[in-house]
């Protein structure tokens, strides 16, 4: 109840003084690229409500924000802005190494009622031992983006693709009907994206949800790696880095791409001449009863503990992230996918999108949010991911007898690097 009492005290104090500290002041935010632009897009609406709060968004680039924030936290918070953009993937590095660097948001207005507006999978990495360090921002609900014309030429209805075995059967037809195309692409040489997406759908990951044990060699993760290798060996998925995927989309060399929903903007902006030829469908599952939902990517906003204007900073975070108006503004302008569950009810979300052949893609994508299983990153996510990538490369090259042996080895390496036990 402490935050309610503090809030009431602040209101009384502001009334007595004739001022409203939360309604004025200057707020600075560190962010990057499209995310920074999206935040700027909310300022017009925000300043209609709070004309005396001046918000400055600084676009530093993704790596710079991470590096500068780590350095500032190590220096006791010196030099931090009021608000910092933090990727969920890396969030627990900050909470674990620098637990006093960011404010407990329950003390400025982030109530349990507001927390409940977001899906659990987005909050898992942002709340530790009852402390809420950040508010969910955008998310990356996974979808399969596909070329309608390529599938139609092969007589494949995406609605019939429910499992990965269905995807394999469909892929053979699509590639035969469209010579020179591949069913999908993955960055096998520099990322773990496909493994993380499919294993997340199956409720498995590098670590247990409580972050206390290593689970990368559990049956669902083993089955995931086996299926990826099966598709790779069959030639249905070929290796490609980000730029190659974008080029393949435009050149008509890829029939599908599986990614977080933020990839929608990349396809639409880089391949404008293909309007009407793309569509989306839910990711397949390893099992017939799987949720066909996963998450890849997404960020949050945290308020610096050293900020001298936390109340004004909270007003901006509250507007941008906890209202449909703020979240959908960013979706419209820059394709940032809301984490806010109520956003699926917004009229824009339900509108048919011309580029996507009249499909209401945002309604279809956001409908998967409640089904996504939480996946814990922990402070050791980067270490575990590097170990997995090396293991994946060795396994694909025949360096292990099977997927179980490969992931058993990865689990042992992660245990050595983290001192965490391997789950039984």
Question: What is the DSSP pairing of strand 83-87 with strand 53-59?
Answer: unpaired
- What's the pLDDT tens digit per position in 308-338? 999 999 999 999 999 999 999 999 988 899 9
- What's the pLDDT tens digit per position in 65-90? 999 999 999 999 999 999 999 998 88
Confidence of residue 419 (pLDDT cuts 50, 70, 90): very high
* pTM (2 d.p.): 0.84
Cβ neighbours around 273 below 10 Å, total: 6
Q: Compute the mean pLDDT over every residue in the chain, rounded to the nearest whole number.
A: 92
CATH 3.40.190.10 maps onto the chain at 2-140+296-361, 142-295+373-418
Residues 6+ apart with CB under 8 A from 120: 374
Q: What percent of the chain clears pLDDT 90, i.e. is strictly above it? A: 81
Residue 9 has pLDDT above 60, yes or no: no
Q: Are 142 and 294 in contact (CB under 8 A)?
A: yes
E strands within 16-124?
Answer: 25-31, 53-59, 83-87
54 strand-pairing partners: 26
For residues 111-124, average pLDDT: 93
Q: How far apart are CA 121 and CA 139, in angstroms?
A: 10
- What's the pLDDT tens digit per position in 35-46? 999 999 999 999
Q: Does domain 2-140+296-361 have CATH number 3.40.190.100?
A: no
Cβ neighbours around 129 below 10 Å, total: 6
User: What pLDDT is attached to residue 133?
Assistant: 97
- What's the pLDDT tens digit per position in 139-154? 999 999 999 999 999 9
User: What pLDDT is attached to residue 3?
Assistant: 31
User: What pLDDT is attached to residue 314?
Assistant: 97
Q: CATH number of the domain at 142-295+373-418, out of 3.40.190.10, 3.40.1190.20, 3.30.70.580, 3.40.50.1820?
A: 3.40.190.10
């Amino acid at each position: 109840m402490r935050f309610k009492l503090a809030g009431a005290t602040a209101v009384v104090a502001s009334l007595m003084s004739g001022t409203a500290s939360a309604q004025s002041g200057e707020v600075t935010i560190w962010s990057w690229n499209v995310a920074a632009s999206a935040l700027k897009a909310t300022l017009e609406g925000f300043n209609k409500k709070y004309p005396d709060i001046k918000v400055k968004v600084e676009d530093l680039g993704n790596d710079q924000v991470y590096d500068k924030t780590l350095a500032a936290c190590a220096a006791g918070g010196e030099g931090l802005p009021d608000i910092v953009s933090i990727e969920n993937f890396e969030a627990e590095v900050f909470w674990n190494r620098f637990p006093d660097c960011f404010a407990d948001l329950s003390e400025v207005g982030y109530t349990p009622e507001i927390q409940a507006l977001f899906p659990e999978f987005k909050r898992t990495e942002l709340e530790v031992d009852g402390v809420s360090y950040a508010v969910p921002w955008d998310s990356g609900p996974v979808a399969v983006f596909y070329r309608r014309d390529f599938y139609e030429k092969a007589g494949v209805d995406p609605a019939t693709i429910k499992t990965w075995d269905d995807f394999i059967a469909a892929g053979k037809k699509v590639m035969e009907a469209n010579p020179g195309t591949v069913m999908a692409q993955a960055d096998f040489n520099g990322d773990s994206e496909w493994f993380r997406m499919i294993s997340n759908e199956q409720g498995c990951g590098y670590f247990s949800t409580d972050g206390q044990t290593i689970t990368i060699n559990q049956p669902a993760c083993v089955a995931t790696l086996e299926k990826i290798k099966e598709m790779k060996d069959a030639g249905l998925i070929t290796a490609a880095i980000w730029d190659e995927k974008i080029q393949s989309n435009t050149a008509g060399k890829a029939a599908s791409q599986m990614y977080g929903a933020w990839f929608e903007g990349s396809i639409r902006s880089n391949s404008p001449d293909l309007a009407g030829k793309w569509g989306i469908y839910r990711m397949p599952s390893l099992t017939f009863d799987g949720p066909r939902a996963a998450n890849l990517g997404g960020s949050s906003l945290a308020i610096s503990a050293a900020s001298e204007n936390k109340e004004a900073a909270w007003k901006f975070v509250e507007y941008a992230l906890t209202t449909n108006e703020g979240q959908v503004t960013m979706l419209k302008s820059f394709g940032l996918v809301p984490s806010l569950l109520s956003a699926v009810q917004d009229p824009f979300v339900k509108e048919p999108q011309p580029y996507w052949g009249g499909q209401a893609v945002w309604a279809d994508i956001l409908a998967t949010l409640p089904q996504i299983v939480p996946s814990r990153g922990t402070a050791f996510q980067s270490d575990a991911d590097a170990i997995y990538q090396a293991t994946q490369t060795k396994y694909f090259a025949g360096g292990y007898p099977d997927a179980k042996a490969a992931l058993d080895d990865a689990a042992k390496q992660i245990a050595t690097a983290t001192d965490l036990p391997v789950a039984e």
